[in-house]
């Protein structure tokens, strides 16, 4: 799969990331480096533990990384979760469960597309 196909598959914006990064080689490099990012793992662990503050920071970080790489679909779902978690609280709000499902779906699609790169 080419990087352009990868971005289509994951629901990203290849033209946008090319405006941010000066070469296709760098787009591929940073897309692959995303596989090492720990934001999603931290987010899932925090949600499972009910740790609101860590979940917010991890969701916010995941949203930022996805935005910088123009992973549009993942950025959108991570942003929705971030906003649900933005207000200080002792617990994770019940509405975050469906938002987390969307993040998981989009994260897994993004990772699968990156792993399929040539």
Q: What's the CATH code of the domain at 56?
A: 1.20.120
Nearest to 28 by CA among 37, 18, 38: 18
pLDDT digits (tens, 9 = 90+) for 89-117: 999 999 999 999 999 999 999 999 999 99
* pLDDT value for 68: 97
pTM beyond 0.85: the answer is yes
Give the integer Cα–Cα distance in Å for 57 and 111: 21
Domain count, the chain: 1
* pLDDT value for 118: 87
Give the integer Cα–Cα distance in Å for 96 and 21: 33
**Residues of the domain holding 43:** 3-115
User: Which stretches of 13-51 are DSSP H helices?
Assistant: 14-20, 24-33, 39-49
């Amino acid at each position: 799969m080419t990087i352009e196909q990868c971005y289509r598959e994951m629901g990203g914006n290849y033209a946008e990331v090319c405006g941010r990064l000066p070469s296709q080689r760098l787009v591929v490099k940073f897309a692959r480096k995303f596989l090492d990012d720990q934001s999603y793992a931290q987010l899932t662990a925090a949600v499972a533990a009910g740790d609101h503050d860590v979940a917010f920071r991890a969701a916010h970080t995941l949203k930022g990384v996805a935005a910088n790489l123009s992973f549009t679909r993942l950025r959108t779902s991570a942003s929705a979760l971030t906003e649900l978690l933005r207000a200080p609280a002792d617990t994770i709000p019940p509405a975050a469960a469906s938002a987390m499902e969307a993040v998981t779906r989009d994260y897994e699609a993004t990772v699968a597309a990156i792993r399929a790169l040539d």
